[in-house]
Amino acid sequence: MMNIIQKISEKVQNILSENYSATVSLEQIKIEKTRKEFTGDFTLNVFPFLRFTKKNPEDTANAIGEILKNDLEEVTDFNVIKGFLNIVLTNQFWTKVLTHNLSSASGEKEKIVLEFSSPNTNKPLHLGHIRNNLLGDSLSKILKKAGNEVVKVNLVNDRGIHICKSMLAWQWFGNDETPETTGKKGDKLVGDYYVLFDKKYKEEIETLQAGGMDKETAEHESELMTAAREMLVKWENDDKEVRELWQKMNGWVYAGFDETYQKLGINFDKIYYESETYKNGKAVVLEGLEKGVFERNSDGSVWIDLTDDGLDKKLLLRADGTSVYMTQDIGTYLIRQKDWQADEYMYVVGNEQEYHFKVLKLVIDKLGYDGEKIHHISYGMVNLPHGKMKSREGTVVDADDLIAEMLKQAKIKADELGKLDNLTENEKQEIYRIVGLGALKYFILKVDAKKEMLFNPEQSVDFEGNTAPFIQYSYARIQSLLRKATEKAMKPALHITDYQLNENEREILKWIFDFSQVVSQAAESLNPSLIANFVYGLAKAFNKFYQENPILKNPEKHIAEFRLLLSEKVANTIKNGLALLGIEVPERM
């Protein structure tokens, strides 16, 4: 089924060439959906062509409209409002939407390495990580649907001073606790020691200040922080005892992460570890130092001066020779280039790191590689009704706790409405899972990723309004309708000939037709919220159609069969749209 907008555009281009000797590019021909207050399906703005036609807007639009109506079988009528040509397509065109696959693949196919999640092994995944994971997973699906090859990668930040803080706190205060002895998930146990380190460190600073030290001196003299820094140096020097403790505690964390990823339905094609990539980064930095790209300070630290590029000086190696984030990101990027030879390397990372990625691209360019392939997909923070989260203070919303709360809220809402009374306990539990997780994912993904957002678990599981449960219920309602049709020996139409659409039916077909275009737009703009809000709009339009148009009780068999087919297509579109957000649909609800 040829893209009708492209077909009309090419015909308009031809009309202008043959009738007015005008050379107009397809990009100059603007065709949009007709506004609801006017009659039509697509609207052409003819004002840019008046300099060629030498006619007023109305005459130009009428002339083009007449030729379109005569020459294109899909065009049945048109009307002109000032300089805008509203084009009406045939019933036959719209009913073909039900029997043709509409491709959302874009013309240019790219190989994309998409990094998301990127957790630290000093704490469990929290609400901020959930937004990152859901955004990355959804983008991978959308980009694939648009025809690209996508490699999903995760960079685990498994080394550094923050990891040493957890390790040291466990070593000094842990009494050999393990996930088995405490009954805690490994990532939670390690996260508790990260919080404990901060608590003990603050207590030590207060004690030193009470003894007469100023704050800056107290921080420098802190026994706890000094030991953490020394542990990091030992780690980088492959100290056997430190490395064994690091491997043991990281192993606990990885097991915890895997459990959370499984709950969310998240997986990766390859996992990179900072502990492996940072060495490559250090080697590249030292090589750049020899070439004069970087400079060494008197204290031994290595820097790059980007002031001529409108940025500042950036640290690449500390005075003690240990690495910073930039070092390992340089190393990781060059390893990935070798691994994948991709067209783009995308990073789903919070907007507080925008400066970091500007620096990374510049450094990569100055080293003689292609920094333009780096694309930072920036997103805003997730806040809660009571404020921002802070890992060091232990005020984060744990991902596992949030998932459990979502399932609990789904159960409360469903039980209040009595929607699952006739199902078995196992069936109910599965629906609570599908609805709870769907509510979480949808609530986060329906917001433009660039914006900060406020997350409210109770609002997200509402069965009314712009929520996943409302959309999922619309899908389940259609499945119930199709089951009842089977019981009555009724089937969706197999062939459609000369069906006269009413306005509700035409509206639904327009929604279905738009899906492939919305997927393309979401892929191009890297914005899953376009998919989320499209699926909500479709579900809302279908519910209006369902209320106003009898289906199974319609006395006209061909109308009932057509509407069954229309309903089935809506359900499939909802299912496919939600799948791009990583959301499942229940067959009953």
CA–CA gap between residue 279 and residue 236 (Å, rounded): 9
pLDDT of residue 285: 95
- Residue 422's CATH number: 1.10.730.10
Between CA 93 and CA 76 the distance in angstroms is 10
Cα(92)–Cα(537) distance, integer angstroms:
24
Query: Average pLDDT over the chain, rounded to whole?
Result: 93
What number is the average pLDDT over the span 266-287? 94
Mean pLDDT for the stretch of residues 110-135:
95
Q: Do 212 and 361 sit in the same domain of this protein?
A: no
Residue 100 within any structural domain of the chain = no
Is the predicted pLDDT of residue 546 greater than 80, yes or no?
yes
Q: What percent of the chain has pLDDT over 90?
A: 85
Q: What integer pLDDT is reported at residue 236 of this predicted model?
A: 87
Domain end point (choices 230, 265, 300):
265
The pLDDT score that the predictor gives to residue 389 is 43
Per-residue CA distances from 412 to 316, 407, 416, 421, 426 (Å): 52, 9, 6, 13, 16
DSSP state of 384: B
Tell whether 273 and 388 lie within a shared domain: yes
> Quick check: 516 pLDDT over 60?
yes
Average pLDDT rounded to a whole number, residues 526-551? 97
Two structure tokens written together for 382: 């997730």
Task: List the domain range (segments joined by +) for residue 507.
Answer: 399-579
Whether the pLDDT of residue 102 is over 80: the answer is no
* Average of per-residue pLDDT across 448-467: 85
Q: Identify the three-state secondary structure at position 421.
A: coil
458, pLDDT greater than 80: no
**C-beta separation of 332 from 363 below 8 A:** no
Q: Answer whether 0.85 is exceeded by the pTM.
A: yes
Q: Which amino acid type is present at position 339?
A: D
474 and 364, same structural domain? no
User: pLDDT by residue (tens digit) across 208-235?
Assistant: 999 999 999 999 999 999 999 999 999 9
Q: Tell me the C-alpha distance between 276 and 306, whole Å.
A: 27
Least confident of 320-329, 424-433, 472-481, 501-510: 320-329
pLDDT at 402 over 50: yes
pLDDT of residue 416: 87
Half-sphere exposure of residue 106: CA atoms within 13 angstroms, side-chain side: 19
Last residue of a domain, one of 379, 397, 415: 397
pLDDT beyond 80 at 1? no
Q: Are residues 251 and 372 in the same domain?
A: no
Judged by DSSP in three states, 77 sits in strand
Q: Tell me the C-alpha distance between 101 and 409, whole Å.
A: 38
- A 10 A CB-CB count for 409 gives 22
Give whole-number Cα distances, 191 to 157, 224, 394, 398, 581, in Å.
14, 17, 8, 10, 29
pLDDT > 70: percent of the chain = 97
Q: Same domain for 115 and 199?
A: no
pLDDT in tens, 60-93: 999 999 999 999 999 999 999 988 999 999 999 9
* Rounded Cα distance, 534 and 512, in Å: 10
- The pLDDT-based confidence of 205 (bands split at 50, 70, 90) is very high
Q: Is 106 part of any domain?
A: no
Q: For residue 68, how many C-alpha atoms fall within 13 Å in the half-sphere facing its CB?
A: 31
